Amino acid sequence: MNILLSPPFAFSFFFIVLFIAYGFIQRHAAQGEDHPDKHLPYSGGQRIPPVEVRLSYETFFRIGLLFGIAHVAVLVLATLPMNWASHRLGLVYLFGISISAIVLASTKPKEN
């Protein structure tokens, strides 16, 4: 029974399942020419000219730090035990993280 949990067996099993599913889906997919706009981003049916957005290093690192803080906060909150003391600690932690996120999101970077 432990052979079913081994990584090589699981890889082989799911590879075969995905190969069969891919063949089934490809057989039932719509046939024909690809549309010329197939690889463009969806914009509600309109052709929008590309807009060049340039982030300064300060703005880029602010956004990166904001996402980093949010991901660490979710990881910490998700791993807290499920008792009442941990819920209070989680609320205090969430309040502190919220202040950090508000400060990072609300301050405008300096113009050079």
Q: Domain boundaries in the chain?
A: 78-107
For residue 26, pLDDT beyond 80: yes
pTM, rounded to two decimals: 0.47
DSSP collapsed to 3 states, 2-68: HHHHCHHHHHHHHHHHHHHHHHHHHHHCCCCCCCCCCCCCCCCCCCCCCCCCCCCHHHHHHHHHHHH
The torsion of the CA quartet 58, 59, 63, 65, rounded to 10 degrees, works out to 10
pLDDT in tens, 5-19: 889 999 999 999 999
Q: What is the mean pLDDT of residues 29-47?
A: 75
For residue 112, pLDDT beyond 80: no
